[in-house]
Amino acid sequence: MALAPVLHADEISLVAPGGIRAAIVKLIPDFEKKTGHKVVATFGSGLGTKRQVAAGDPFDVPIVQPPYPEVLDSGHVIASTATPLATVAVGVAVRTGARKPDQPGR
């Protein structure tokens, strides 16, 4: 069975924090195969990625960690396109008899 050739493959630049690298790297090959588009991903720190996007550095797809008002206020992305990709839960355990950590806001 012959596959139709890709007539026009675009290069898509993606900027993202390193914490999501493993997931993105797994998704890229399937996306490229299905669309014919090449993804060039750049990973950095969470704060560094936000600063890149807010500064208007070149990108097609930004992935940033909330809160991100400085990104939306920069005018380089459209607020209505923000789509949550993942959540992270953090738990803290305290040894029996040890003092509990402060709970801000409580």
Q: What pTM was estimated for this model as a whole?
A: 0.70
Within the chain, where are the H helices?
21-35, 46-55, 69-73
Can you give the residue ranges of every domain in the chain?
A: 11-81
Q: Per-10-residue mean pLDDT for the chain, 106 residues long?
A: 53 94 96 94 94 92 89 89 83 89 71
In this prediction, residue 7 carries a pLDDT of 47
Residue of 15, 11, 13 lying closest to 71 (CA atoms): 15
Residue 9's pLDDT is what?
63
The predicted structure's pLDDT at residue 102? 79
Q: What is the DSSP string of 39-103?
A: EEEEEE-HHHHHHHHHHT-S-SEE--PSP-HHHHHTTSS-GGG--------------TTSPPPP-
Closest CA to 15 of 73, 67, 74, 56: 56
Domain 11-81 indexed as CATH 3.40.190.10: yes
How many residues does this entry show for the chain? 106
Cis peptide before 67 (omega within 30 of 0): yes
